[in-house]
Amino acid sequence: MQRTLVLDLDGTLVDSVPDLAAALNRLMAARALPGFTGPQVTRMVGDGARVLVERAFAAHGKPPDAGALADFLADYAANVAVRTRAFPGVPETLRVLAGAGWRLAVCTNKPAAPARTLLGALGLEPFFAAIGGGDSFPARKPDPAHLLATLEAAGGTPARAVMAGDHHNDIMAAAGLGMPAIFAAWGYGGPEVGAQAAAVARRFSDLPQIAALLLPE
C-alpha cells in the first residue's frame, strides 16, 4: 500500500502567526482591549480558533463575548493569506515527496474553510489528497480519531503512515494510532515536544529522508 505523510498546517507547512495575530488584535481593539505580540500569539496557537480566542480573552481576565469567535473567524477568513507564507522549501519538498510515491494529507485544528483557502492561495492545495480541519470531523487533535479520519479520507492507513508536526497535539495524535511522528523543529513548539517524537527534522527539506527511514518502502 502507498505510504502517507500527514502534515500539520500552522507552524509546520506555513508561518501563519502574522495573520492570526493581526486578526486577533483587530478583535481586541474592537473591544477596547490591548493586543498581543507575535511571540505571545505563537504560544496561544495550536488548538483551534475557539481556544485561541478564549486564551486571548483569558489573558485579559475576561471570557469571550457571544460574538467574539464569529467576528474573529470572519475577519481571519477574509485575511488568511495576507502575510502568511510557506516555510522555506515547502513546495519543492512536497514535489519530492510526491515524486517518491508518498500520498500527502493535512491534519489541522484550523477550521477547514480557511485552511483550504490558505493552501489554495499559496498554491499548495493540489498536493494533498485530503485536508482534515478542526471542524471536519467530531474529534480534533490530540484525539487520534481526527488523524484517523483524515488518513481514511486520503485513502491511507496508520500502519503505512507518518505524522509531521510542531505541536504536542500532533505527536499525541500519532501516538494514539501507533504511528511514528516527526517533530518540525522550525515551527512553534519547544524542544520538549521534540523529545516525545520518533525523530526531529530541523528543516522542511529533511522530511523525505526522515520519513523514509521511519517507514521504508
Q: Cell 485513502 identifies what position?
A: 155
Between CA 105 and CA 94 the distance in angstroms is: 11
Amino acid at 133: G
Indicate if 8 belongs to the active site: yes
Between CA 156 and CA 142 the distance in angstroms is: 19
Among 133, 107, 131, CA closest to 49: 133
Considering 8, 10, 19, 170, which one is annotated as catalytic?
8
Phi, psi of 44 (to 5 degrees): -95, -20
Cis amide leading into 142 (omega within 30):
yes
202: exposed, middle or buried (C-beta count within 10 Å: 0-12, 13-18, 19+)? exposed
Catalytic residues: 8
